[in-house]
Amino acid sequence: MKKIYSCLCFVFLLSSCYSPEKNCKQFHTGTFEFESYLNGELVTSTFTRNDTLEIDTFQGSVDTSSVRWINDCEYIIKNLHPKNIAEKKPLHIKILTTKDDSYTFEYGLVGDAKKNKGTVIKIEN
């Protein structure tokens, strides 16, 4: 029984230290697509990002935001031309996992505990 307990503790210790490898730098620039549900309908947003700017196209409307990288996998975007008070608040985005051409991320307003998750697909370098 003692050997089984020791083995289980060892396996748990090894598995708790595992962290999936992320290659966030490859997603700093390029053109991307993000799908989400809005009022029960699946909608697509396309955006192009370089190191300091992000240009978002959604339902014929174009918005430009500044991009400030905190580290390789986290950044803050802030709308440069907000149309209302809600658009003035910056978003904190944290890349959680990466794959060949996509990443899963968590996002929320800066300072807000509520977070959402999404997946972005890179469609062009």
Annotated domain spans of the chain: 21-124
Closest CA to 122 of 104, 108, 106, 96: 104
As its CATH architecture, domain 21-124 has Beta Barrel (2.40)
Summarize the confidence of residues 10-30 as an average pLDDT: 70
Tens-place pLDDT, residues 75-106:
999 999 999 998 899 999 999 999 999 999 99
Sign, CA torsion 36/112/75/59: positive
CA 11 to chain centre: 31
Task: Write the CA distances from 69 to 1, 2, 7, integer angstroms.
Answer: 50, 49, 42
Q: 0.85 cut: is pTM over it?
A: no
